[in-house]
């Protein structure tokens, strides 16, 4: 493996880490740095939005405000480099805790897992995702949210 390939793989891993951190901290400016301006993002398999970067940010903001805590663990990162483009498939595990009920009931928690499928492109600012398709695999605890 040459140095460029190693550097690309490190930068791509850093991009996925930045993505997870941005979503968990609800830092939408940081989230935007993960994507190209014309990115297509699709969270529909988890009941989330699909559309352009700005459309998705507009819809994700109130959706994620329902949660007091989220953690996005990203692992098993498979990178297929092809010059200035790359396909990436990475697993995610995501525990989420809803805001507490107004009557003081304990917070409700659920878990989900699946894969992030990114199409990346090298830009002047480093690797960016021009397409993200989130592929949901499973949910646990949704029955506790009712």
Average pLDDT in the chain:
93
Residue 14 has pLDDT above 90, yes or no: yes
Q: Name the nearest CA neighbour of 27 among 55, 61, 77.
A: 61
Q: Are 111 and 140 in contact (CB under 8 A)?
A: yes
CATH number assigned to the domain comprising residue 12 = 3.10.450.50
**What pLDDT was estimated at residue 24?**
97
- The domain total for the chain is 1
| Stronger pLDDT, 106 or 62, i.e. the higher one | 62
Ranges of beta strands (E only) in 1-146 are 35-42, 50-52, 67-70, 73-82, 85-98, 109-123, 126-140
Number of DSSP helices (H) and strands (E) in the chain, helices first: 3, 7
Residue 26 has pLDDT above 70, yes or no: yes
**What pLDDT was estimated at residue 53?**
98
Q: What are the pLDDT digits (tens) for 93-141?
A: 999 998 666 676 767 888 999 999 999 999 999 999 999 999 999 999 8
CA distance 21 to 37: 19
User: Whole-model pTM?
Assistant: 0.92
CA distance 112 to 140: 6
Domain that holds residue 130: 3-145
Burial of 108 (0-12, 13-18, 19+ CB in 10 A): middle
């Amino acid at each position: 493996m040459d140095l460029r390939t190693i550097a690309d793989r490190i930068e791509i891993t850093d991009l996925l880490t930045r993505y997870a951190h941005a979503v968990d901290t609800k830092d939408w400016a940081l989230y935007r740095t993960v994507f190209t301006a014309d990115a297509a993002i699709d969270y529909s398999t988890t009941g989330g939005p699909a559309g352009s970067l700005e459309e998705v940010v507009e819809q994700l903001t109130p959706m994620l405000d329902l949660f007091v805590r989220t953690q996005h663990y990203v692992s098993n990162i498979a990178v297929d480099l092809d010059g200035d483009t790359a396909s990436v498939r990475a697993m995610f595990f995501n525990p989420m805790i809803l805001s507490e009920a107004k009557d003081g009931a304990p917070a409700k928690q659920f878990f989900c897992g699946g894969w992030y499928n990114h199409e990346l492109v090298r830009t002047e600012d480093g690797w960016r995702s021009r397409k993200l398709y989130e592929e949901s695999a499973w949910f646990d605890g949704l029955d506790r949210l009712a």
